[in-house]
Chain A
Amino acid sequence: MRRRTKHQEDQAEVNMTPMLDIVFILLIFFIVTATFLSEEGLDMRPPPDSDTPPDTDAPPPIVVQVDDDNNIFVNRTRTDVDRVLSAVNRFRAEEPNSAVLLEVQDEAEHGIIVQIWDEMRANSVPVSIQRTNEDS
């Protein structure tokens, strides 16, 4: 009887191993989920409103319009998605400081807008986005 109680005490210490297994599994789970957070993205937020009046000396912006059917117009000339940058560069050759104003209609495709935005940013052309209503 006494021998048996001693045996049980021994077993009580052996029982730590499954708990350690669980703790390890939890630890691995948290390590894996913690490194999962990173995402790549663009900042397409418009700049905050400022009280200073717009610079009147600034050259007029190059207007890139994308309509509901994903037709793209650079200063009212129709262009292809891949040729937007070359068209913008042609206008910027005359007015090197002009910015790009991206006027989008609500049903234009997100992918096209991001592509144009990204191309402008990659070539350090200042770009801002503006929505236009269908009736305007």
Chain B
Amino acid sequence: MARRVSRVNTGEEEIELNMTPMLDVVFILLIFFIVTSVFIKEPGVDTLRPDAMTEEDRNPSMLVAVTADNEIWVNRRVYEMNELRGVIEQLLQENPKGRAMIQGDEGANIGLILDVQELLMEMDVEVHISTLQQ
């Protein structure tokens, strides 16, 4: 009985030994994806964005949402216009080459969106206006 168990075990062992190269590959892939992934901090609020025809694909790393009630959301919190500079500086420290995207609601005031855009441009951040996602 005991002998039979050990023989079965040796058979299993040989099959499992082949896993190691695959595990190496999987680890390398894992490390690759960890290194390349940029974590986006979601604004945490849904905005109904305007639809557009001339939109282009962008890869932002910073999202600023402006709702129809003219609240500015970054990283799941509401900020006032004068607090925004500090928040963006913090995000820039994590990701100095960050590009920003303003998710403005259709009903938001254009003045506030232009204010946010001007602030980001002043801080040398590439900024675009987000439109409806297809």
Contact = CB atoms under 8 A, between A and B. Distances in A.
A19 to B, nearest CB: 8
Given A105-B111, A110-B107, A44 B33 contact: no
Contacts of B9: 7, 10
Given A13-B13, A13-B16, A34-B37, A42 B106 contact: no
Interface residues of A, number: 44
Contacts of B112: 106
Contacts of B66: 110
Nearest to B58: A41
A38 to B, nearest CB: 5
B79 to A, nearest CB: 18
Contact of A41 (B40, B55, B105, B114): B55
23 contacts: A13-B13, A16-B16, A16-B19, A27-B29, A30-B33, A37-B38, A38-B58, A39-B60, A39-B130, A41-B55, A41-B131, A42-B56, A42-B129, A44-B128, A106-B112, A108-B110, A109-B107, A110-B109, A111-B107, A118-B52, A118-B53, A119-B53, A121-B54
Rank and list the top 9 A-B pairs by shortest CB-CB distance, nearest first. Answer: A106-B111, A111-B106, A30-B33, A41-B128, A114-B50, A118-B52, A40-B55, A111-B50, A121-B54
